[in-house]
Amino acid sequence: MATHCPYCALQCGMILREEDDAVSVLPRQFPTNRGGLCQKGWTSAELLSHPQRLTSPLLRDPASGELRPASWDAALDRITTGIRDVQEKHGRDAVAVFGGGGLTNEKAYALGRFARVALGTRHIDYNGRFCMSSAAAAGMRAFGVDRGLPFPLSDLGRADTLLLVGANPAETMPPLMRWLTEQRERGGRLIVIDPRVTATARQADLHLQPLPGTDLAVANALLHIALTEGYVDGDYVATRTTGFTEVRRTVAGWWPARAEALSGVPVADLEETARALGTAGRAIILTARGAEQHAKGVDTVTGFVNLALALGLPGRPGSGYGCLTGQGNGQGGREHGQKADQLPGYRRIDDLEARAHVAQVWGVPADELPGPGVPAYQLLDSLGTDQGPRALLVFGSNPVVSAPRAARIEGRLRDLDLLVVTDFLLSETAALADVVLPTAQWAEEDGTMTNLEGRVLRRRALRPPPAGVRTDLSILTALSSRLRAPGRQPPDDPHTVFAELRRASAGGIADYAGISWDRIDAADGVYWPCPDDEGPDSPRLFTYRFATADGLARFHPVEHRPAAEEVCADYPLYFTTGRVLAQYQSGTQTRRVAALRRAAPEAFVELHPDLAERLGVADGEPVRVLSRRGEFQAPARLSPGIRPDTVFAPFHWGGRARANSVTNDAVDPISGMPEFKICAVRVEKA
């Protein structure tokens, strides 16, 4: 059975085989992974029959306070009654939905419809807000469209210069490195901007190691150099963009020595980077979470978009700007209505025409659709408060581990009147729930995923879910009918849902109208926008025009500003978070796979040997990391590859080792992205 990996946005092609109930994984030649798989992919089938897998709904027993197995009817009744009670007392918006970037397009779409129609609530958002929302907002305002990569991944292999900003694919998307190897074998240059010497940075021809939170200053200085050295493509700027003058005047204030003092990146390295980008035939700039997960994430990405536009890269064959999307369906998940302000097709929920179109597909009056809700962190932080929702339904997310300032969010979840979590394992969030619903895994359901290239792919069911387990779609359909949802009956088979999604997205920015499952099967996926059955899809965007009203890209002047929380005498170190190769996101899945647990058994705190010496800490000794918001504990891991003023920890673990206990919940004013990548901490011997 040919399908794709359940984990990241690379969506590696794989083959599943079933023999005597055991499922084995083999890599498959697909244009993104070219036959490669990382350890997460190889071991992904182990969770299908994991002993801890949930196979029955769980209900919290009021007497003992414990979760006990229950029938589906009892669980669905409890949810329906709970929702009705809350909505009668506190109104429709008192019930909220929290989705995930791992859900298929069909499920993300159905979840948005369920929230707006069956629940009638404006409160729906998802964990993608913690992922690439800053790049999405920056892409929208510059190009009029947000597609992670506006070109096929294979373009990376042919770039003469490739700049990665805050991206560590060697750990987060290992098979992608095959393209980078090809790129360098062809003589291309790889430049990496990262405060740590990551596995990716080690392979770079040039590594810029800025202080966390100073990427925007670096971007503006690179454009300053591009101007003074004559790398700016004047014809392109004149004919394909607007707004350059104001950006030119802003970056005139960012002479390289100023950025050097702020970031610690030598002027010579800034100049070399600008030269490598400015003189390359084909140059690509990619950002990822390192640049994006900041309270100035949108502006930071915009700084690099400005640079790319000034050099004339977007739309030039083989060149461009892109964002490396993280979650499996991080791209599709943000297009079809589980984002607070959006309807399917990347439409805005406050756009009257969009509302009329989607309402007609759903068979409800447009004026009954709720308005925009609030971004994820604001939503989570309001739960159980006087102004916030009293009930929450969580699908495919584990905010107890993944949200910033996680202890506070955990408290908010505990304050709810009703918490429902659907998952196939008892995540830290599920463990707090009043009702837990067991759902199907990726190999047990059909559907589509949209990968980091905007390429829509087919996920195929190898076998049905085990007894006692239902799919998310059937859960949503069952709840819809129990809640007597208005409008047309929502379908529960993914193929019919996709047909409806196509109609709902038709005419939108992310137009899937011309994409069918058959068409995906006939090719190696289909790139959106694809409005017509017979018409072409869109592997490359921006060749002739941008998706703005006048077809021109927009420059936006952006200024560096300090982090929301800078270091001080009490919290003298910068703290930054990230990932390790053998774990994925909040670790609910990967921490339960034996081989991955062996490879990455526990959290750690990475610190420079000089800092460790000052703290009197030896390698492997437990340390406590404290911020104004909380603390966590993990063994020290000494590394000369991190700046002595910065400490790092992966965020895949919960409990005492939860890195997000200390992270800052300051958010970007435009995207709502929390500042995961920088806050002030103190480190002590535990």
- Number of neighbours of residue 305 by Cβ within 10 angstroms: 28
- Number of neighbours of residue 342 by Cβ within 10 angstroms: 25
Which of these ranges, 15-23, 266-274, 395-403, 417-425, lies near other proteins under the rule CB under 8 A?
266-274
Name the H helices within 583-679. 594-599, 609-615
Q: Which of 205, 624, 644, 656 binds other proteins (CB under 8 A)?
A: 644
Q: Which of 28, 31, 35, 341 binds other proteins (CB under 8 A)?
A: 35
| 219 makes contact with other proteins (CB under 8 A) | no
- Whether the upstream peptide bond of residue 529 has omega within 30° of 0, thus cis, is yes
Q: Which of 106, 215, 260, 500 binds other proteins (CB under 8 A)?
A: 260
Q: What is the footprint of other proteins within residues 8-27 (CB under 8 A)?
A: 27
Smaller CB separation from other proteins, 73 or 229: 229
| 627 makes contact with other proteins (CB under 8 A) | no
Give percent helix, percent strand, percent coil of the chain, each to the nearest 5. Answer: 35, 20, 45
Could you write out the three-class secondary structure of 83-152? Answer: HHHHHHHHCHHHEEEEECCCCCHHHHHHHHHHHHHHHCCCCEEEHHHHCCHHHHHHHHHHHCCCCCCCCC
Angstrom distance (rounded) from CA 173 to CA 175: 6
Angstrom distance (rounded) from CA 510 to CA 448: 14
| 178 makes contact with other proteins (CB under 8 A) | yes
Q: Which of 60, 147, 591, 643 binds other proteins (CB under 8 A)?
A: 643
Dihedral sign for Cα atoms in the order 607, 613, 614, 615 = positive
Angstrom distance (rounded) from CA 346 to CA 343: 6
Which of these ranges, 263-271, 301-309, 471-479, 481-489, lies near other proteins under the rule CB under 8 A?
263-271
| 264 makes contact with other proteins (CB under 8 A) | yes
C-beta of 609: minimal distance to other proteins in Å? 7
Smaller CB separation from other proteins, 6 or 465: 6
Angstrom distance (rounded) from CA 489 to CA 132: 33
| 613 makes contact with other proteins (CB under 8 A) | yes
Q: Which of 267, 431, 552, 615 binds other proteins (CB under 8 A)?
A: 267
C-beta of 665: minimal distance to other proteins in Å? 23
Torsion angles phi and psi, residue 479, rounded to 5: -65, -40
| 506 makes contact with other proteins (CB under 8 A) | no
**Alpha carbon separation from 607 to 423, 584, 612, 621, 649 (Å, rounded):** 35, 22, 7, 12, 9
Angstrom distance (rounded) from CA 54 to CA 437: 8
CB 299 within 8 Å of CB 558: yes
Distance of CA 378 to the CA centre of its chain: 17
Torsion angles phi and psi, residue 24, rounded to 5: -115, 155
Which of these ranges, 33-41, 54-62, 361-369, 433-441, lies near other proteins under the rule CB under 8 A?
33-41
C-beta of 181: minimal distance to other proteins in Å? 6
Q: Which of 61, 88, 229, 619 binds other proteins (CB under 8 A)?
A: 229
Which of these ranges, 118-126, 233-241, 243-251, 346-354, lies near other proteins under the rule CB under 8 A?
243-251
C-beta of 572: minimal distance to other proteins in Å? 9
108: nearest Cα among 428, 352, 396:
396
Beta-strand (E) ranges in 264-315?
A: 283-287
Smaller CB separation from other proteins, 62 or 187: 187
Q: Which of 31, 69, 266, 630 binds other proteins (CB under 8 A)?
A: 266
Which of these ranges, 301-309, 330-338, 420-428, 604-612, lies near other proteins under the rule CB under 8 A?
604-612
Angstrom distance (rounded) from CA 383 to CA 496: 34
| 626 makes contact with other proteins (CB under 8 A) | no
Which of these ranges, 177-185, 351-359, 377-385, 651-659, lies near other proteins under the rule CB under 8 A?
177-185
Smaller CB separation from other proteins, 256 or 454: 256
| 238 makes contact with other proteins (CB under 8 A) | no
| 595 makes contact with other proteins (CB under 8 A) | yes
Angstrom distance (rounded) from CA 585 to CA 102: 10
| 641 makes contact with other proteins (CB under 8 A) | yes
Strand partners, 124: 97
Smaller CB separation from other proteins, 414 or 561: 561
Distance of CA 603 to the CA centre of its chain: 21
| 197 makes contact with other proteins (CB under 8 A) | yes
CB 196 within 8 Å of CB 225: no
| 582 makes contact with other proteins (CB under 8 A) | yes
Residue with tokens 């100035």: 296
Strand partners, 650: 578
C-beta of 251: minimal distance to other proteins in Å? 9
C-beta of 242: minimal distance to other proteins in Å? 16
| 566 makes contact with other proteins (CB under 8 A) | no
Smaller CB separation from other proteins, 363 or 620: 620
Strand partners, 162: 190, 284
| 203 makes contact with other proteins (CB under 8 A) | yes
Angstrom distance (rounded) from CA 175 to CA 36: 5
- Who's near 81: CB < 8 A, 6+ residues apart? none
| 61 makes contact with other proteins (CB under 8 A) | no
Which of these ranges, 437-445, 460-468, 540-548, 639-647, lies near other proteins under the rule CB under 8 A?
639-647
C-beta of 236: minimal distance to other proteins in Å? 17
| 602 makes contact with other proteins (CB under 8 A) | no
In this structure, what DSSP letter does residue 489 have? Answer: P
Which of these ranges, 267-275, 332-340, 353-361, 456-464, lies near other proteins under the rule CB under 8 A?
267-275
Q: How many residues bind other proteins (CB under 8 A)?
A: 62
Q: Which of 148, 150, 157, 174 binds other proteins (CB under 8 A)?
A: 174
| Residues contributing to the site for other proteins (CB under 8 A) | 27, 35-39, 42, 170-171, 174-178, 181, 197, 199, 202-203, 207, 209, 211, 227-230, 246, 248-250, 252-253, 255-258, 260-261, 263-269, 557, 581-582, 595, 598-599, 608-610, 613-614, 639-641, 643-645
